[in-house]
Amino acid sequence: MTAHAAEARQDRRLPTSLSDLGWSSAEMPTPAGRPTVYETGPREGSKVLLLHGIGGGGAAYLWKLLGPILAGHRLIAPSFVG
């Protein structure tokens, strides 16, 4: 594979995390642990809380798709276990 072909292939990779899409993250201390909370969008935007059920990996992919649809809102997605 040529260097150009490898570079083109790498450009088509999907982001693997919300951080890859510019979402910020922070730990949120709770009595049950320290889950990560992801956020994106303007701080002054209307807040939208994104919750998921079992299978957080699939939910993270869904949030990636919803980000552009909900542009202008402050999206908050806590990553709880289960």
Q: What is the pLDDT of residues 8-55, one digit of tens each?
A: 455 555 555 677 777 888 888 888 788 888 888 899 999 999 887 665
What whole-number distance in Å separates Cα of residue 4 and Cα of residue 68?
A: 30
For residue 7 the two structure tokens come to 């570079």
Is 8 in contact with 1 (CB distance < 8 Å)? Answer: no
Number of structural domains (the chain) is: 1
Distance of CA 18 to the CA centre of its chain: 3
Which residues contact residue 5 at a Cβ distance below 8 angstroms, ignoring those fewer than 6 apart?
none
pLDDT of residue 44: 94
Residue 65 maps to a domain: yes
Confidence of residue 78 (pLDDT cuts 50, 70, 90): confident
Instruction: Examine residue 63 and state whether it is found in any structural domain, yes or no.
Output: yes
Residue at 1 is within a domain: no
Q: Is residue 66 part of a domain?
A: yes
Q: Has residue 58 got a pLDDT over 60?
A: no
Q: What is the mean pLDDT of the segment spanning 74-78?
A: 87
Segments forming the whole domain that contains residue 22: 15-79
Q: How far apart are CA 5 and CA 21, in angstroms?
A: 24
